[in-house]
Copies of this chain bind each other. A is one copy, B any other.
Amino acid sequence: MELIFLGTASCYPTADRSVSCTLLRFEDGRIWMFDCGEGSQVQLQKSSAKPGRIEKIFITHLHGDHLFGLPGLLCTLSNNMSESKSDILLEIFGPHGLRRYVRECLSLSRSMLNFSYVVHELIIAQHQYPDDWQDWKVDSDDDGRLHPQEIGGRSIVCDDNGVWEVNSDIVVHEATLEEALRDKALENGHSTPAMAAQFAKDIGASVLVLYHYSQRYRQTAHDAEGDVDSVTKLLAEAEAALSDCDSCSVVASGDLMEIPVKRRE
């Protein structure tokens, strides 16, 4: 079982670093995808993963750098899938609004698929919306008219604490900006490596994997030694924040990196 990082950048893709898309590949080759930023289908071609083995896609939130690659991925999966596999049901999970997004993109582009899909939506508790959510009212409801290959999905409600479940050995957490830029990170709804480390400690994770770096940080592999504007700096900050925690280690992911995941004994 491995995590395969197809894109580890925040905000926008470059030729060197693609935006968010992470695969979890099981021992039998089945794949769950987490986020699908623009260009993820090309990253997928470069990786060791087999596109036809994707069975579930989870979208963490609807920002474009986590979402805009999904319609193209669905079309390409369909183009490359033989008719004999058309009994597949691809399950897509994400926040309220995702069902409408997928349907609008596929319908307006008149994209038929040769497999079925379903979008299950997570319903956020009222108190979890940002303060300014009502300043720009967006209709996130779908009108109930299914895409020809769409199956009606579920609405999944969170528990009384506003979460679905947090019980992880390995945590993949964004670390967009360094600690010195914490205010800017918070302003944009992002995190620093120290914040990611604190969350990993809070839930008792044994491995923290960083990703979703600002494009200002070059990738570790390309760094000159001592380069301060690199992912190495973000990693060092997380390591420092975890120095009092023997049970948790930290890894900085990079595009196309594969990280093994062990099942609990």
Contacts and interface: CB of A to CB of B under 8 A. Distances in A.
Given A39-B38, A39-B42, A101-B104, A68 B109 contact: yes
Contact of A12 (B64, B65, B72, B105): B72
A232 interface: no
A1 B136 CA distance: 41
B108 A72 contact: no
* Number of copies of chain A assembled together: 2
Nearest to A70: B68
Contact of A68 (B42, B71, B148): B71
A75 B24 CA distance: 28
Contacts of A184: none
B109 A100 contact: no
Contacts of A71: 64, 68
Interface in A42-97: 42, 45-46, 62-65, 67-69, 71-72, 75-76, 79, 97
A19 to B, nearest CB: 8
A140 B68 CA distance: 20
B68 A12 contact: no
A62 B14 CA distance: 25
B62 A109 contact: yes
A97 B108 contact: yes
Given A12-B76, A13-B42, 10 more contacts: A12-B75, A38-B41, A38-B68, A38-B69, A62-B110, A64-B109, A65-B72, A97-B108, A101-B109, A139-B145
22 contacts: A11-B79, A12-B72, A12-B75, A12-B79, A13-B39, A14-B42, A38-B38, A38-B39, A38-B41, A38-B72, A62-B109, A63-B111, A64-B105, A64-B109, A64-B111, A65-B72, A68-B105, A68-B109, A97-B108, A101-B109, A104-B104, A104-B108
